Amino acid sequence: MPGIAQAQSAVSRVITHRPIRASVRLQALQHNFAQARRLAGEARTWAVIKANAYGHGQFQVARALQGLSDGFALLEVENALALRAAGLTQPMLLLEGFFAAEDVPVLARHDLTAAIHCREQLEMLAAAEARPARAYIKLNTGMNRLGFRPADLGAVRQQLERLGIRDLTLMSHFAGADTPEGIETQRQVFMQAAAGTGLPLCLANSAALIRYPEARGDWVRPGIMLYGGSPFAETPADALGLEPVMTLESRLIGIQELRAGERVGYGGTFTAPGPMRIGIVACGYADGYPRHAPTGTPVAVAGHPSRTLGRVSMDMLVVDLQDMPEVRVGAPVTLWGVGEGGRVDADAVAAAAGTISYELFCALAPRVPMEWR
């Protein structure tokens, strides 16, 4: 209906004038991939682009890494098919395998590799008329999410080979590569299961790739490090040689002068200790900024480090403008990344909010305009 289409177009034009935006630096992505490649040694690399490339844009990220990565790891068959339709011919690994019997012939037709992790998937493969040529066998070595017990590996391998799937790789996933617990217990379980099989191995995520060279195997699976996030709570990304890829920035849309004792925002969770100047930013939890981010979460305003004040609202948040008498409405604000407002470490924002940068990136709302450069 023309009336509805016109109204939607008008709404779109209004929304794009709101100052919040996200930008993705593809050169930084490529730099981070080069770091992963260096750490991988002779191992081949799956660039993990699940969850819309951690919120960075599946198609744009895949194109930027086309010709660099040996393959792409993601979740959904439909997203793999969309990449194939866009002309990407690299190997693609479905990290959770397939979810329905009708997916099996699609894997074969489009040369997709699935992780096989349960008996039900084996039954679907057995019932299919066409099957893929290759698969990953996922072993549960202690994560206790997906995977076969190591004792079942021999039987699983035999069943897959009877079905004509002979190009096999063993994989597992570490639960503690980013913690003091480390990987050794799980790695030993995996290596004992893999001994004598002669099969290629795929183990290392970002944390294991950075910290444990013994876990390289034949394929590695870097994820968060590609996007400039640190997998370690105690180590900032820049100390790992990683560059921020996504920037979330907005502008001041209002300024208030507070008297001592006046409170800020819903619930009045921040009280001015004395006269102070505050700024209102066009960014809230409906944009993907964490509502639970407390007073003191880092931001940058017009080149000055600052902090949030009070509770994050749906469409706005408040920042401290103390010692910034020159700042006016329209001043740039960087929420995370490297922007006109300054530099703010996404991991520091996440730590203040009690979460991880993975969640910040993935939670970015569709209403936030995004650009790639």
Mean pLDDT (whole number) for 179-191 = 97
DSSP string, 35-84: HHHHHHTTSEEEEE-HHHHHTT-HHHHHHHHTTTSSEEEES-HHHHHHHH
Could you give the angle at the alpha carbon of 30 between the alpha carbons of 21 and 208, nearest 5°?
105
Q: What are the pLDDT digits (tens) for 285-317?
A: 999 999 999 999 999 999 999 999 999 999 999
Task: Give 252's strand partners.
Answer: 281
Mean pLDDT (whole number) for 267-277 = 97
Q: Does the pLDDT at position 7 exceed 60?
A: no
CA 229 – CA 55 distance, rounded (Å)? 13
Q: How confident is the model at residue 8, as a pLDDT?
A: 42
Q: How confident is the model at residue 132, as a pLDDT?
A: 96
CA 203 – CA 209 distance, rounded (Å)? 9
Give φ, ψ of 309 to 5 degrees.
-130, 130
Counting Cα atoms < 13 Å in the Cβ hemisphere of 143 gives 19
Q: What are the pLDDT digits (tens) for 131-172?
A: 999 999 999 999 999 999 999 999 999 999 999 999 999 999
Q: How confident is the model at residue 16, as a pLDDT?
A: 67
Q: Are 231 and 242 in contact (CB under 8 A)?
A: no
Contacts of 27 (CB under 8 A, 6+ apart): none
Percent of the chain's residues with pLDDT above 70: 96
Mean pLDDT (whole number) for 98-109 = 97
List the catalytic residues: 50, 266
Place 1 in a pLDDT band, splitting at 50, 70 and 90: very low
Place 357 in a pLDDT band, splitting at 50, 70 and 90: very high
Q: What are the pLDDT digits (tens) for 310-354?
A: 999 999 999 999 999 999 999 999 999 999 999 999 999 999 999
Mean pLDDT (whole number) for 9-31 = 80
Q: Average pLDDT, whole number, for the chain?
A: 95
Three-state secondary-structure class, residue 342: strand
Place 9 in a pLDDT band, splitting at 50, 70 and 90: very low
Q: How confident is the model at residue 6, as a pLDDT?
A: 53
Closest CA to 156 of 190, 116, 100: 116
Percent of the chain's residues with pLDDT above 90: 95
Q: How confident is the model at residue 329, as a pLDDT?
A: 98
How far from 344 is each of 16, 214, 339, CA to CA, in Å?
Answer: 24, 33, 9
Closest CA to 337 of 357, 312, 315, 309: 357
Mean pLDDT (whole number) for 214-228 = 98
Q: Are 336 and 248 in contact (CB under 8 A)?
A: yes
Q: Does the pLDDT at position 12 exceed 50?
A: no
Place 233 in a pLDDT band, splitting at 50, 70 and 90: very high
CA 66 – CA 49 distance, rounded (Å)? 12
Domains of the chain, each with CATH number or no CATH? 26-229 (3.20.20.10), 246-372 (2.40.37.10)
Mean pLDDT (whole number) for 221-231 = 98
Distance of CA 211 to the CA centre of its chain: 19
Q: How confident is the model at residue 364, as a pLDDT?
A: 98
Q: Does the pLDDT at position 37 exceed 60?
A: yes
Tell me the pTM: 0.94
Contacts of 364 (CB under 8 A, 6+ apart): 22, 55, 246, 248, 287, 288, 370
